[in-house]
Amino acid sequence: AQSVAQPEDQVNVAEGNPLTVKCTYSVSGNPYLFWYVQYPNRGLQFLLKYITGDNLVKGSYGFEAEFNKSQTSFHLKKPSALVSDSALYFCAVRWYSSASKIIFGSGTRLSIRP
């Protein structure tokens, strides 16, 4: 069955330190991979995507993600965290079989302490 997993419900990082939010997936075929961020009482905002090409993808607000095909992972990273990065982060994967499907992970709450 197709699935997306975010193994950590919460990630806590000190401001200025690097951060990683993990995502692994299991889909057939070639996936399209996405990261979204959600601030309190707001909708989801698109951060970045991987379709094909370079495994390191750069996105909004200084975030980047690395596609690793052998490990079926797409971890979100940032070299230096800001307090304003505190939010809920969702990984999503889209794939195509007889029709296009997209599923979201359960979300990881990122908390950056000053």
Partner 1 sequence: ETGVTQTPRHLVMGMTNKKSLKCEQHLGHNAMYWYKQSAKKPLELMFVYSLEERVENNSVPSRFSPECPNSSHLFLHLHTLQPEDSALYLCASSQDQNTGELFFGEGSRLTVL
CA contacts within 13 A on the Cβ side of 18: 7
Task: Please name the helix (run of DSSP H) or strand (run of DSSP E) that holds residue 11, with its range, or none.
Answer: strand 10-14
Q: Which is nearer to partner 1, 49 or 77 (CB)?
A: 49
Type of residue found at 19:
L
CB of 106 to partner 1, least distance (A): 5
63 binds partner 1 (CB under 8 A): no
Lay out the site mask for partner 1 across 3-32 (x = CB under 8 A, - = otherwise).
Answer: -----------------------------x
Candidate residues 49, 64, 66, 72; the one interacting with partner 1 per rule CB under 8 A? 49
Give the CA-trace dihedral at 36, 37, 38, 43, to 10 degrees: -40
